[in-house]
Structure 1
Amino acid sequence: MSETTSSKPMYEKIFDEVKQRIVTKEYELGERVPSEKELAEAFHVSRITSKKALEMLAAERLIVRKPGRGSFVADPVIDYLEAEASSAINSGELTSATINHEEKTIGLIITDFGNSYGTGLIYGMEQAARDNDCFLVLRRTFGIPENEEQSILKLLNLGVDGLIVFPAQGEYFNAEILKLVIGRFPLVLVDRHLKGVAAASISSDNVKAALKGTEYLFDLGHTHISFLSPPPVDTTAVEDRIEGFIQAHAQRGIMVNKELWVSDLTSTLPNSFNEQNIERDISRLVSHLQNNPSITGLFAIEYNIALLAKTAVERLGLRIPEDISIICFDSPPTHLGGGYSFTHMRQNEEEMGRIAVENVLIIMNGHAVPHKVMLEARLVPGESTGPVKLS
C-alpha cells in the first residue's frame, strides 16, 4: 500500500485507503482486510496506529472484526447499537418527535470503544436493552469534555428517558452531569465514579484488580515493577489502580519505589493520539528502562500502553518475558492484537453493560439502586509474563 501525501494523521490515511478499497470493491463483501500487523508494516507505523485505523473502520461498520479470524468487509454481522438511529442523530434527522415513547429510550454517551475495551460494554447494553424492550441511542465523545456536554444536551433535547455516561477523562466533570444529578434525572455512570457526585455508577473493582495483578508479578519473583499510566488527573479508575498497586506492595512488605513509575504517558488518550506522540512515549519508555536496569516487570494501566511498552522493550533488544514481564488491563480476547496475548486483568464488560441498562431502568421506575456497583476483574495469563531471570 502506498502512503498518501496529506497532512492527516497516519491512522486517518490508513483509514482512507482501506475505505477506498472497500468502496471500489477491491475488497469484496466478506473478504479479509489486512491485519494490524500487516498495515503497520505496509505504512511503516506502529501497531497502535494501525489498530486505531481498523477501529475507525469498524465504528463506521465498514468492517467486522471476528474473534480469532481477523477483520472482514462488513456483511454486516455486528451492529453497534441501532445503527439507523445513531446515523439519524449524527445527520440531524432524528428529533424528539420521532422517538417512540411507547418504548423507553436510553442515551449512551461513551468516549470510544475498541476490540480491547468498550465493545463488550456495548454488547451487554444492547442485549439488556433488547431484553427489556427499550431503545438505545449511542453518541461518542472521544474523551473530549466539550463533546460530552454537547451530547448530553442533544440527547436530552431528543427526549431520552435516561442516560448512561462513560465520563471523559479529565480533572473536572462537566456541569451538565451535575445538573442531571440535582434534577434526579435517571443517570448511571460507567467505568468510573465522580467524586462528590451522588450518581449511581458501575465499574470494575479497580483496586482489587490492580492488587491481584501486582501479586501475580510478585509470585513470579518480580519486585522492581514500573507502573505505567497517563496522568491520573483526578480520574478515579486510574487512581484506584494506583491504590491497588500500592496496597499489594504493603501487604507483601515490599517498598514502593515511585522513581520506577512512568505516569505521564499521553499518546493513548483520545485527543492526543498521533504518531508523533506515540513515538515520544516509546522513546520515554526506552530511556526509562535504560536508566533503571533493575526493572523486571511493567504494569501497564491499559492495553495500548502495554503495546507502547512492548515496542520499547523490543527496541532495547530485550525479550518478553525472559528479560521483562508485562501485565496490563484488558487485551483483545483473541489474536486480533496481531497474534500476541498479554497477561491481563479482564474486566467483565458485558455484565457491566447489562447492569448499567437495568439500573437506569430501575431509576426510571422510581426505585433506588446501589450508589456504587463494582465487579471483579479476572486474571488471564498470556505470553507476556514469566519468572524473573536468575542472574
Structure 2
Amino acid sequence: MELDIRSLSFACTSILATNALVLAIFWIKHKKQTDLGLYALGNLFISISFALVGLRGSIPDFVSLVAGNTIGIAGSFLLIRGSFVVFKLKYNRWFEDIALSLVVVLLIHATYYEPSLKERVLVVSSTIIVQYLYLAFLFLKRSNKEPLSPITITGISFGLVSIYMLFRNTYSVFEDMSMFHDTISAYLHEGNIYAITYIVIMTASTGWTIGILLINYTRIEKERENVILELQKLARTDPLTGLKNRLVIDEIMELATKRAQRVRKEMALLALDLDGFKEVNDTHGHDVGDEVLRQVSKRLSQTLRQTDTVARLGGDEFLVILENLNSKEDVKDIANKLVEIINETYIVKKLSINVTTSIGIAIYEHNNENVQTLLKNADLALYTMKESGKGGYSFYKQYF
C-alpha cells in the first residue's frame, strides 16, 4: 500500500517547524547560545523545503523542486554552522556557496533540460549524505564514547539521515537490477521510498533537536557553575594582588591548625607590614604604591613553599601561614629570607623604590590556641618589632 505522500510531507513540515520553534524559544531566552538560533533557522529552512516539495503539482516546479530542495540543503548548512559554534570551530562559507550554486545548476538541468527523477534524487541525496555524515562525524568524534550523552544522541540522529540516504541512493541507482526486484523493490516503489524519507527526517530532526537542547542545557549549567565559582573566588581573593583576602583567613587557619595537630608538625603565623609604604603613596602616587604591593605579593609567593599560604589583609599588611615545619629554627630561616627579599629595591616606572618589612611571628604549640589568639599574638610581635627598629622580625614571647 502506498502511503499518502503529501500528508506525510506536511506532517514532516509541522514536526520540523515545531522543532525550529522550540529551538527559537530557547535561543531567545539564551541569546548568548548562537548555535540555538542557527539550528532553529536550519530546521525552519528544512521544514519550508518539505512544504514546497509537498506542493509539487500545485506550484511551479522551479519553486517546488529547485527552490524547495535548495532551501533544504541551505538549512542543512545552517546546522553545520551551528555545530561549528558548539565545538568552537572555524567555519568557512566559500565551500557552502560553491556547493549551493552547483546544486541549483544540477537541479535545473535535471528538472528542465534533461528531466530525470533519478538524477534529481541523486543530486539532493548525495549532498545530504555528505552534509549529515560530516555532522555525525563532528558529534560522535567528541562524544567520548558515552552512549547516552546528548552529543551521542545528536550524532546518531544526523547519522541516521545520512545512512538512510545512502541506502536510498543505492536503491535509486540499482533499482532495475533483478536482485532489488526480487527483494525490496516491491516495498520501496517511488511512493513508499519518499514516505520513508519523511519518517526518517521527522525522527532524526526530533533527535537532534533534543540532543542540541540537552547540550546547551548542560553548557548553560556549567557556565552558571563557573560563574558561581568565579564569584566565590573573587569574594575570597584580593583584587589588587590575587592573594587570599581577610575573609578566608579564619577558615584557612582553622584547617592549618587541625593539620598541625594531626601530623604533629610545627605551624607558624607571620604578620607582615611594609615600613615606609605611606611615604611611597604620598610621594609617587597610589598607582606606584599599588605596583609595589603587587611586586611584594609576587616575591612572597615565589619565596614560600606550595604548602604555605600568603594573604593580603589590606593596605600594606600581609599574613603568611607556614605549615609542616620540623622545628622553630625553620621559621627563623624563612623569616630571614622574607626580610631579605622584600627589602630589595623595587623598580616602578623607572623609579627606584625602597621599602622594608617588619614581621611578627606567633607559633602554634598544640595547646588549644585558637585562631584569634594566634592573630593577636602575631600582631603583638609585629608591634614589638616596629617599636624596636623595624626592618626585621620578632617572635611572640621568648621562643629562643
* TM-score, length-scaled by structure 1: 0.22
Asked which structure has the greater RCO (Cα within 8 Å, sep 6+), the reply is: 1
Q: Select the structure that is richer in strand.
A: 1
Q: Select the structure that is richer in helix.
A: 2
* TM-score, length-scaled by structure 2: 0.21
